[in-house]
Amino acid sequence: MVMYIKTSISIVVLILLSSCYQPQRDCKAFKDGEFSFTSTIDEKEVTTTFVRKGELEIDYFEGKIDSSSIRWINDCEYIVKKLRPRNKAEEKSVHIKILTTTDNSYTFEYNLVGDNNKSKGIAIKIN
């Protein structure tokens, strides 16, 4: 009986401790800087480098440069909108939510505004 009570108390303590765990999320450290993001497009790994400062983001992808406006919703969520879209698809804004952070990277989910289909990625802070 005593063993059962000790085991029950241990399980309760473990559940309480694990429910209090919050992943690191220091989003302010990633508002500005130079980052890289690697994704798979048509079974090929490609890397985008981007520089974000204030309300502007400049993307470098396969020798092309593009710029977008940034509107922060809160410290961990923002909307990206291309300044000079080349087609209808590029006119759509992208919602980005930072889920977790480390010292030099953040994991995020993103989707087109109004679309429920979300993807995840990891951005690494270069500078």
Two structure tokens written together for 64: 């092309």
Q: How far is Cα 76 from Cα 114, in angstroms, rounded to an integer?
A: 19
pTM of the model: 0.77
pLDDT at 84: 92
Give pLDDT tens digits along the chain (127 positions).
655 565 555 555 555 445 555 667 889 999 999 999 988 778 888 899 999 999 999 999 989 999 999 999 999 999 999 999 989 888 999 999 999 999 999 999 999 998 989 999 999 999 7
Which amino acid does the sequence have at 6?
K
Domains in the chain, ordered, with CATH?
24-125 (2.40.128.20)
Q: How far is Cα 75 from Cα 91, in angstroms, rounded to an integer?
A: 24
Instruction: Measure CA 17 to chain center.
Output: 26
Contact (CB, 8 A) for 123 and 35: yes
Element holding 89 (H helix, E strand): none
Strand, helix or coil at 101?
strand
Q: How far is Cα 95 from Cα 109, in angstroms, rounded to an integer?
A: 8
